[in-house]
């Protein structure tokens, strides 16, 4: 026979497992009509505590059914932290954060966009040069 405290803690953990699953951390993908998929990402924090006593010294012998008192508590905090944006072959993470407080922070936030634009610019220049250097037919 399980002790009531074990059963209480086990039941509480089972309920937590039902509430929090992988879809809580990486949410259900949302697809727009133009083919962009957005996946919300969250941070889940859980605080849990439980305890009990069986009051063995205060109950008469043979009264095993009246020798337990206990409790358990759970706190869950779910915080959105980012979105994954999937467009074709490109995947980008858009963090949900406080605005950049310094120029360096802002530059770090903008760096992926700057690199993408520079890459596109260089690719278009290379294509233009190849078209220019191609022999005329």
**pLDDT tens string 15-65:** 777 777 666 778 889 999 998 999 998 888 888 777 777 666 655 565 556
And the tokens for 24?
């809580």
With H, G, I as helix, E, B as strand and everything else as coil, classify residue 84. strand
Bridge-partner residues for 30, per DSSP? 38
Instruction: Give dist(CA 85, CA 80) in Å, integer.
Output: 15
> Among the listed ranges 12-16, 58-62, 105-109, which one has the minimum average pLDDT value?
58-62
d(CA 96, CA 79): 10
């Amino acid at each position: 026979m399980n002790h009531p405290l074990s059963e209480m803690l086990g039941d509480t953990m089972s309920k937590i497992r039902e509430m929090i699953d992988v879809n809580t951390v990486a949410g259900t993908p949302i697809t727009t009509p133009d083919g962009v998929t957005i996946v919300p990402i969250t941070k889940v924090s859980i605080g849990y505590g439980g305890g009990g006593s069986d009051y063995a010294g205060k109950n008469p012998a043979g009264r095993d059914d009246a020798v337990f008192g206990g409790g358990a508590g759970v706190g869950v905090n779910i915080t959105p932290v980012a979105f994954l944006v999937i467009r074709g072959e490109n995947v980008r993470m858009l963090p949900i954060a406080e605005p950049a407080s310094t120029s360096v922070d802002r530059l770090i936030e903008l760096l992926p966009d700057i690199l993408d634009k520079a890459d596109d610019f260089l690719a278009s220049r290379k294509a233009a040069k190849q078209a220019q250097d191609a022999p005329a037919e």
